[in-house]
Structure 1
Amino acid sequence: MPRIESKVRDLVAGDDGMRAAVEIVLDRADDGDVKWLDVKDELSSGRWGRLIETGVLIEGEEGFQLADRAATESGLETDDSSDTSTDSNVALETEVDDDESSWSIYDKGAGVLTIGLFVGYSWKPLRDLIGTVMDVPLGPLEELLPFYAVVMILALATGLYSTLLQANLMNMEKMSAYQSRMKEIQERRKEAKEEGDDDALDAIQDEQMDAMGDQLGMFKEQFRPMVWIMFLTIPVFLWMYWSIGVGANAEAQVSLSTLVLPLVGEVAWTDSVLGPIQAWIVWYFLCSMGFTQIIRKSLNIDISPSAS
């Protein structure tokens, strides 16, 4: 009877007097079947009827008996955790409603500026302006090292601050709570399907609709660090665009040798190697992915929320 525990938990959560009613029935059931006459002085007919209606009590030889004593006792034992879960869900919904406040005015400002920076990819005057400004700190580095090594250093830097921003700006406890709630709803839905409990399925469906706000909350939590990552990374990319001479009517601003890529061999920086993706982008992402994994392992940073 996999649903008995859940039914007992729901009964107790919805009616403060049901805990005492279930405990009385458990006590009387030690001697065999339970009859209404045996318990009518201690619990109401309404609560007695609800125990029968929900299937916690089933017909016995001389009265009624517990459908599953162990599950019924377990339902009472987990009531506290259920209450805690209910409270956390209420708190979580409140956090989702108030989640807008987690985005400070600086976050919103960075978001607006990031949208403006995207224009630089297609508008040459802005790309040239940002490239020239970024060349002040990056130009001396390019003069000291080969350009492929400069790209490696930029990939290391972007991987470092991306990891730190994700670790510090995402509320991992909230993300875990979102995932735990969705996992718990899915498990109850699976149990209800196995039991053929249409009423429970309808209730769970309504709960899933209510939980759609959690998905919005998760998106906001994940996107907040991404705004800052893009805000810092787009100028770096635009400098590489400007330096390499990517785009219409663009000229390379640095002296470029050929680049050797794994499994591809020697190519020019602007050659397409993966469909329309040019060699310099592939080189950057190979370096970025490798350095990011090393950074996360070295700093013992895990940005994957765990649903427990």
Structure 2
Amino acid sequence: MARIEQKVRDLVSDDAGMESVVRTVLDRADDGEVKWVDVRDDVSSGQWGRLIEKGVLVDGESGFRLADPEATREALENGSTTATGSTDDEDDSSWSTWDKGAAVLSVGLMAGYSWSPLRNIIGNAMDVALGPLNTALPFYAVVMILAVVTGLYSTLLQANLMDSEKMGEYQEKMQEIQERRKAAKERGDDEALDRIQDEQMEAMGDQMGMFKEQFRPMVWIMFLTIPVFLWMYWKVGIGDPSSGQFGTIVLPFRGTVAWKEQILGPIQVWIVWYFVCSMGFTQIIRKGLNIDISPTGT
């Protein structure tokens, strides 16, 4: 279990003395099982309790057993990563130069919604590729095609840039801490509560790492989607009145409406139509490609 390996690394990273404790338990485990009387000369009761709290030791037939001896041994053998486990996690989830560049450009592109010179530049540039499509098909069909394309690359970017396994580990770790805190509170173990409180403070860094993992693909999705959205914004005549109108569309419960008519508060019809198509086709694409971007534990 990769999760057990990470738990051992966390223990050793928090307290270097736990490395010798884990090695002692490994050496004296008989068929994977070990009793407190076997190690009490070298392991304190607090250290023994931490192994149990972390799930490295679980109930056995005649005492306690190692949840996964091989994963535990592997964690100790990788000494360089054991000592710097949290730093490595930060490096793994840190953004590359390309990611940061895409984030800056995405923010710049968003200015096109309020600054007409930039909107016109992007609109005209995108119209070179999308204009012929718009000439050949009705505008509602063009929006549907764009929704399929944006849904496809959004799904692929999320699947490839977001580490769902790591996010699952973050969530599992937080859930484990909450469960141990509840158990310690019920039995009135103030010493364990203090340790768990320290772990919760350290886990704040994990929450930031989880946020970075979630937002990384969103940067690239915005970078690719904002120009498409700006083209639609420009094409319906909001950005460039000379570009003309594309008639009307029939919507359920509303009947025939114009593209710029407000339908949900200030939100106009063309925006609603795009997001309805995008959400629907995205779900179909995920099912068709069997892509699940929800966090997964190990």
TM band (smaller chain):
0.7 to 0.9
Distance 1:136 1:71, change over 3 A: same
Q: In the alignment, which residue of structure 1 is the partner of 2:161?
A: 169
C-alpha separation between the residues in 2 aligned to 1:177 and 1:115?
Answer: 31
Structure 2: runs of 5 or more not aligned: 1-10, 12-16, 50-57
2:110 is the alignment partner of 1:118: yes
Q: Deviations over 1:1-20 (max 9, x none)?
A: xxxxxxxxx99977355678
Secondary structure class of the residue paired with 2:256: strand
C-alpha separation between the residues in 1 aligned to 2:102 and 2:161?
Answer: 14
Correspondent of 2:211 among 208, 219, 225: 219
Q: In the alignment, which residue of structure 2 is the partner of 1:66?
A: none
2:198 is the alignment partner of 1:206: yes
Distance 1:86 1:264, change over 3 A: farther
Secondary structure class of the residue paired with 2:246: coil
Q: Deviations over 1:115-139 (max 9, x none)?
A: 1101001101110110011000000
Shift of 1:239: 0.5
Shift of 1:99: 3.8
> Is contact 1:118-1:234 (8 Å) kept?
yes
Worse-superposed segment, 126-135 or 194-203: 194-203
Q: In the alignment, which residue of structure 2 is the partner of 1:276?
A: 266
Distance 1:255 1:187, change over 3 A: same
Q: Deviations over 1:185-215 (max 9, x none)?
A: 1221222122221211111110011011111
Shift of 1:21: 8.4
Secondary structure class of the residue paired with 1:76: strand
Secondary structure class of the residue paired with 1:110: helix
Q: In the alignment, which residue of structure 1 is the partner of 2:88?
A: 95
Q: Percent sequence identity over matched residues?
A: 58
> Is contact 1:167-1:303 (8 Å) kept?
yes
> Is contact 1:134-1:239 (8 Å) kept?
yes
Secondary structure class of the residue paired with 1:267: strand
C-alpha separation between the residues in 1 aligned to 2:34 and 2:181?
Answer: 31
C-alpha separation between the residues in 2 aligned to 1:229 and 1:219?
Answer: 16
* Matching of residues 70-219 of structure 1 within 5 Å: 73=62, 75-78=64-67, 80=69, 83=72, 93-99=86-92, 102-219=94-211
Distance 1:50 1:263, change over 3 A: same
C-alpha separation between the residues in 1 aligned to 2:277 and 2:267?
Answer: 16
Secondary structure class of the residue paired with 1:98: helix
Shift of 1:74: 6.0
Q: Deviations over 1:210-230 (max 9, x none)?
A: 011111111111111111100
Worse-superposed segment, 256-265 or 120-129: 256-265
> Is contact 1:127-1:238 (8 Å) kept?
yes
Code of the residue aligned with 1:204 in structure 2: it is I
Distance 1:12 1:259, change over 3 A: same
Structure 1: runs of 5 or more not aligned: 1-9, 30-38, 55-68
Worse-superposed segment, 292-301 or 174-183: 174-183
> Is contact 2:165-2:297 (8 Å) kept?
no
Distance 1:263 1:85, change over 3 A: farther
Shift of 1:45: 6.4
C-alpha separation between the residues in 2 aligned to 1:227 and 1:107?
Answer: 7
C-alpha separation between the residues in 1 aligned to 2:86 and 2:275?
Answer: 38
> Is contact 1:12-1:79 (8 Å) kept?
no
Root-mean-square deviation over aligned CA pairs: 3.4
C-alpha separation between the residues in 2 aligned to 1:85 and 1:253?
Answer: 64
> Is contact 1:259-1:266 (8 Å) kept?
yes
> Is contact 1:96-1:213 (8 Å) kept?
no
Shift of 1:77: 3.1
> Is contact 1:92-1:177 (8 Å) kept?
no
Code of the residue aligned with 1:281 in structure 2: it is I
C-alpha separation between the residues in 2 aligned to 1:28 and 1:167?
Answer: 44
Shift of 1:92: 5.3
State the number of aligned residues. Answer: 267
2:252 is the alignment partner of 1:262: yes
